[in-house]
């Protein structure tokens, strides 16, 4: 390797981007050439200076100006329009789900009925007691499926719509069991804290019904939000539900639960 070829590769050697064999060739030339040694060490010194050049940090104003600009852009007409368009697309999807889900459910039910009518053996003229019980169980199961469909439909609407449907039940003096079950379903399944809290409020007038108390109690261990947990504890204590004692004991002892929830559970235990 001559001096020109070696010097052409000095920068790459110093970069560390040249492969091992080529680097070894350059180093071999360097070992025997004082001129190239001077050239190489001058480049190395310049690079070392460049690498130790301090980088001052930016002042705080840069961050403030950036976030001010970001806020402005988020509030600008174009961004708001884009966000609205995204929401519109989402709600269109939700709408079709809302329309198609009941149709699909009805088609399934009809298909089942048709298959049953066509292929099942004809029923004997007189139904015995066992058959009657089976039919009753089947009816109950279909009812609970209907309820689940109702709750899932409830969840496909927006938070404010779900809130309104929960609040609407407050006006009903004697709501039927379906309304009560929907409220317990909302309390157990709704993703919005506000809807769950409203559902609990709507259940207060019916706290005398065992199904309401046991529904709230069954939902309590799954609830994660401390606000709703405390509200549920207050509900069960107000309803004087002694069945809640073991769950309240568990909550008051649990280490990884919010302090406010543990305090509420302890207060509740004292009152029960």
Distance in Å, CB of 28 to other proteins, minimum: 21
Which listed range, 70-78, 106-114, 169-177, 227-235, lies at the site for other proteins (CB under 8 A)?
70-78
Distance in Å, CB of 62 to other proteins, minimum: 5
Closest CA to 252 of 240, 272, 160: 272
Closest CA to 238 of 203, 186, 211: 203
Burial 65-76 (b: 16+ CB within 10 A, else e): eeeeeeeeeeee
Span 22-61, contacts to other proteins by CB under 8 A: 42-43, 45-47, 49-59, 61
Nearer to other proteins among residue 7 and residue 192 (C-beta): 7
Nearer to other proteins among residue 73 and residue 137 (C-beta): 73
CA dist 17 and 13 (Å) reads 7
173 binds other proteins (CB under 8 A): no
Distance in Å, CB of 13 to other proteins, minimum: 11
- Identify the helix (H) or strand (E) that includes residue 223: none
CA dist 247 and 228 (Å) reads 15
Nearer to other proteins among residue 29 and residue 206 (C-beta): 29
Closest CA to 239 of 201, 269, 204: 204
Closest CA to 6 of 53, 59, 43: 43
* Among 66, 96, 98, 113, interactor with other proteins by CB under 8 A: 66
Which listed range, 20-28, 77-85, 171-179, 198-206, lies at the site for other proteins (CB under 8 A)?
77-85
243 binds other proteins (CB under 8 A): no
20 binds other proteins (CB under 8 A): no
Other Cβ atoms closer than 10 A to 39: 16
Nearer to other proteins among residue 7 and residue 266 (C-beta): 7
* Among 24, 28, 83, 218, interactor with other proteins by CB under 8 A: 83
């Amino acid at each position: 390797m001559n001096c020109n070829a070696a010097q052409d590769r000095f920068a790459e050697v110093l970069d560390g981007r040249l492969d091992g064999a080529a680097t070894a060739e350059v180093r071999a030339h360097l070992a025997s050439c004082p001129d190239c040694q001077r050239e190489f060490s001058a480049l190395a010194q310049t690079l070392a200076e460049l690498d130790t050049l301090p980088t001052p940090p930016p002042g705080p104003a840069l961050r403030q100006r950036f976030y001010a600009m970001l806020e402005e852009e988020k509030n600008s007409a174009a961004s708001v329009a884009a966000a609205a368009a995204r929401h519109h697309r989402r709600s269109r999807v939700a709408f079709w789900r809302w329309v198609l889900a009941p149709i699909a459910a009805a088609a399934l039910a009809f298909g089942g009925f048709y298959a049953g009518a066509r292929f099942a053996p004809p029923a004997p003229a007189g139904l015995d007691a066992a058959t009657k019980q089976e039919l009753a169980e089947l009816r109950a199961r279909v009812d609970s499926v209907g309820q689940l469909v109702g709750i899932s439909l409830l969840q496909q609407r927006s938070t404010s719509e779900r809130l309104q449907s929960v609040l609407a039940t407050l006006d009903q003096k004697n709501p039927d069991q379906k309304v009560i079950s929907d409220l317990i379903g909302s309390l157990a399944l709704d993703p919005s804290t506000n809807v769950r809290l409203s559902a609990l409020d709507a259940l207060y007038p019916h706290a005398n019904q065992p199904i309401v108390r046991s529904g709230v109690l069954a939902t309590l261990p799954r609830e994660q939000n401390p606000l709703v947990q405390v509200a549920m504890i207050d509900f069960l204590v107000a309803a004087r539900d002694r069945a809640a004692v073991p769950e309240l004991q568990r909550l008051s002892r649990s280490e990884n639960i919010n302090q406010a929830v543990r305090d509420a559970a302890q207060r509740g235990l004292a009152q029960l």
